Structure 1
Amino acid sequence: MRKMKRNLAAAAACALAVSMVLGGCGKKGESETAGGASEKAELEEVTVILDYVANTNHTGMYVALDQGYYEEEGLKVNIVEPTEGATASLVAVGKGDFGISYQEDVTVALTSEDPLPIKAIAAVIQHNTSGFAAYKDKGIHSPKDFEGKTYAGWGGPGEEAVLKAVMTQAGADFSKLNLVISDGSGFEALKDKVDIMWFYEAWDSVKCELNDFPISYMPVRDLDERLDYYTPVIIAGNQVLEEKPEMVKKFLAATSRGYGFAMEKPEESAEILHKYAPDYSLEMLTMSQKYLADKYAEDADRWGEMKDRVWDNYTEFMVEYGVIQEAIPAAECYTNEFLPDKE
C-alpha cells in the first residue's frame, strides 16, 4: 500500500494544497458547570496523516471518530490523506500530529544523514501480513523461481534488500531478477505484464479472491523470521511527544478503543469504514476486516504494544543487507509509554 518517495518540499507543498479531510468535522463537547448549566468545551485539534487512502489498516481510527471516542477524550481528530510516501517527513516538520508509517521507514528515517525527529508509538498490526504474489499458472512458488522473472514494486528503501535476501537464501541469483516500478495497474498485471508483486494479505489478496484471480502467495515472514516486522505503525513527532504527552495518551486511548471495537465487531466496523471509503465495495471491506480482526493484537497483551526483539531483528537484517549503515537501539525507534495500561 505504499508508493514511491517524493522529496519533502514537494510533499509539504502538496499536502498544504490538498489537505483533504477524510474524517470528522468534530463538534463542541459539553461539560456541566458547578451550577448545573452546560457550557461549550473546546476540543483540541489533532491531525493524523495516513500512509495511503483509507483502508482496513486504519479502521480503528475511523471507528473512534465515528463512535465519538475522540470527542470523549476532548479531541477533534482530522484524518487526511498524504502526498505519496511523504508521511514521516510531514509529521517530522509538524504538518500532522500523528501519521501512519512502517518500521522500515522509521528505521531508515532515524539512521539517515539528517535523522527525522519522529518515533513509533503504536503497532497497528502485530505481524507482517505481506508477501510476494505471482499468477498461479506461472509456476512461481518460491524465491528460487524468481530468476528470469520481472518484479514490479514501489521502490522502497528496503524492498530490493528483501528480494536479494530471500533469493540468496533460496539459492537463486538476484542479478537475474528484472526490477521495474509498478504502473499501478493492479493484480491483473501479474497475468501478462509482470511476474511478481508485493501483496498485502488483507487488501490485495482479498481483491484477488473476489475477482477469482488465482495466485501463489509467499508470506515474507515465512521466508526470513527477521522480516516479521511492524507494518504499519503510528508515529508522532518528538516535539508533540515532549510538549503534549497527555494529548498523545488521550489519542491512543481512543484509538485503542476503536481497534478493540474492530476486533470484536468486524462487520459493523467495515460498515463504518465504508462511510469514509465509499469507493471500495462493502463486501471487500468486510472480508478484509474479518481477516484483520484477530491480527491487530495477535500475540500481544494489548493493542499497539511493540517489542525490542522485533525492532532489533529487522534492524539487524537492514544492516546486513546495506539498507542502513549502523544499527540503532530499539528504544530510539519506538515507545509503549503512551499506550493505555494493560487491562
Structure 2
Amino acid sequence: MNKLLISLAILIFGLAACSGDDHASQSSSGEGQKTKSVKLVLDWTPNTNHTGIYVAKEKGYFEEAGLNVEILMPGETGADQLVASGKADFGISAQEALTQARVQDIPIVSIGAVIQHNTSGFASPKEKKISSPKDFEGKTYGGWGAPVEKAVISSIMKKENADVNKVDIVNMGNTDFFTAVKRDVDFAWIYYGWTGVEAELRNQELNMLYLTDYSEKLDYYTPVLTTSERMIDNHADTVKAFMKAVSEGYQYSIDHPEEASEILIDAVPDLDPELVKASQKWLSPKYKDDASQWGIQKEEVWQNYADWMYNHDLLDKQLNAKDAFTNQFLPENKE
C-alpha cells in the first residue's frame, strides 16, 4: 500500500526526465517464430497478489501467446512512472494511485483488476483494544505520509462522531507492521491477504477494520494491471495477448491454489513457503469473487472512488472514469 503512493509522488515529479520509447521488441525463437519481449514491473516485492503472473510464465501461457515477459521489481522509480514513460510495457498499480495519475494527465490505463474487492483495512493487535473507528482516538497510527490516509481515517471516524485530530499520525515508512506495533504504533493500514494471514501464522490476534465495512466507495480495485495509452494505441495485439495469458494464470491460481503457491515459491525462493501457501489459500477465491470473470472492472467502482477522493480534496479535478480503465483486452468480456 505505502509503495503505491510513494511511487505516485515519484511519478508525478520525475516523469519528464524519462524517455518515451516503447520497450516491446521482437526476437526470433529457435523455430523461426516471432516472440515479443515485454517488461512487466511489479508494485512491490513478489507476493500472492502476483501469483497469476508467475503461473502464466511457468505454465507457458506467455510463450503460447508469443510473449517473452521479463518481471521486474519497481525500485525507487516505481511501476507507474516506468509504464507511463515507456520504460516498461505493463505494471502493477492500484486504483487510488492510477486515479491521481490520470487527473495529472499521466497516460496509464488499468487493464484488469487483480482482486475484485478491496481487502485492505486498519489492523491492530487485539491487546490495543481498537475494535471500532471511535477507538482510534488517543491512539497512534503508523503510515507513509500520504494525504489519503488521514482522509480515509477521518471519513470512517465521522460515522461514529469521532475526531481524527485526536489521532497521532506518524510516518513509519517501510517498517515492518509487526515491529512497528510492538514499538511505537497502535494500528496501521494493511492488506489482510498477506500481513493478516502472517499474523495468523504468528498466532498474533488482530482486530481488523476493513474499509469496505464503512463505505462502498472505498471498495476500489487494488491492485490492478496497467499499461500505457501508447501501448494500447500502437500495440493492441500485444496487450490482448498479454491479458489472455495473465487471465489464464489467475484462473489457474483460482482453481489450483496449492499448485499455484508452489510455482510462486519456486520462482521466488526467498519467500516464506508457509506464508505463501496460507496466503494463497485465503486469496485465491477473492481474485474473481462475485464477478463474471477474472479481471473485469466496473465504471461505477472507478467513479465512486474518484468522487470520494474529489470530495475529500485529494484530487484537483474530477476523473474521467471511462478513460481510466478498459475491459476490452480480457479474453471473454461478458459485460
TM-score in terms of structure 2 length: 0.91
For 1:85 and 1:157, locate their aligned partners in 2 and report how far apart those are by CA, in whole Å: 20
Q: Quick one: which of 36, 39, 50 aligns to 1:58? A: 50
**Cα distance change, pair 50–266 in 1 and its aligned pair in 2 (3 A):** same
Deviation, structure 1 residue 160: 2.1
2:95 and 2:82 map into 1 onto residues whose CA distance is 17
Hey, what does 1:170 align to over in structure 2?
Answer: 160
Counterpart-to-counterpart distance in 2, 1:198 and 1:42: 45
Q: CA deviation at 1:138?
A: 1.4
Q: Which residue of 2 aligns with 1:268?
A: 259
The runs of at least 4 consecutive aligned structure 1 residues that moved more than 6 Å come to 9-12
Q: Which residue of 1 aligns with 2:318?
A: 327
The counterpart of 1:206, out of the listed 197, 203, 228, is 197
Tell me which amino acid in the other structure corresponds to 1:216: N
Give the 3-state SS of the residue equivalent to 1:140 in structure 2. coil
Q: RMSD across aligned C-alpha pairs, in angstroms?
A: 2.3
Q: What percentage of residue pairs aligned between the two structures are identical? A: 43
Tell me the residue number matched to 2:169.
179
Correspondence list, 1:1-343, <5 A = 1-3=1-3, 4-5=6-7, 7-8=10-11, 29=29, 39-84=31-76, 86-112=78-104, 115-183=105-173, 184-342=175-333
Aligned position for 1:19:
none
Cα distance change on mapping 1:134 and 1:7 into 2, 3 Å: same
Describe the superposition over 1:73-122 as per-residue Cα deviations: whole angstroms up to 9, x where unpaired. Answer: 1000001000247211111001110100010111101112xx11111110
Mark the CA change 1:95 to 1:157 in structure 2 (over 3 Å): closer, same or farther: farther
Listed as ranges, the gaps of 5+ residues in structure 1 are: 17-26, 31-38
Task: State the distance in 1 between where 2:135 and 2:248 align.
Answer: 44
The answer to whether the 8 Å contact 1:134/1:196 transfers is yes
Instruction: Single out whichever of 301-310 and 320-329 deviates more from structure 2.
Output: 320-329
Q: Contact 1:306–1:336 at 8 Å: present in 2 too?
A: yes
Secondary structure at the aligned position of 1:43 is classed as strand
Give the counterpart letter for 1:7 in structure 2: I
**For 1:211-268, what per-residue CA distance to the aligned partner results, in whole angstroms no more than 9, with x for missing partners?**
1111111111101111000000011010001000011000000000000000010011
C-alpha separation between the residues in 2 aligned to 1:187 and 1:136?
13
Aligned partners of 1:173, 1:11: CA distance in 2, in Å?
A: 36
Q: Is the 8 A contact 2:35 2:67 kept in 1?
A: yes
CA distance in 1, matches of 2:12, 2:189: 28
Mapped to 1, the partners of 2:317 and 2:72 lie a distance apart of 34
Of the structure 1 ranges 75-84 and 174-183, higher mean CA displacement relative to structure 2 is found in 174-183
Distance in 2 separating the partners of 1:223 and 1:192: 28
TM-score w.r.t. length of structure 1: 0.89
Residues 59, 262 of structure 1: 8 Å contact kept:
yes
**In proportion to residue count, which structure has more helix?**
2
Q: Which amino acid aligns with 1:267?
A: E
Contact 1:2 1:51 in 2 (8 A): no
Q: Given the superposition, is the C-alpha separation of residues 301 and 211 from structure 1 closer, same or farther in structure 2, using an over 3 Å criterion?
A: same
Q: Is the 8 A contact 2:327 2:333 kept in 1?
A: no
- Is residue 143–residue 167 contact of structure 1 (8 Å, CA) maintained in 2? yes
Alpha-carbon distance in structure 2 between the residues aligned to 1:10 and 1:287:
39
Q: AA paired with 2:46?
A: A
Name the SS of the counterpart of 1:40 in structure 2: coil
Contact 1:11 1:86 in 2 (8 A): no
251-260 or 136-145: bigger deviation: 136-145
Query: How far apart in 2 are the matches of 1:76 and 1:321?
Result: 42
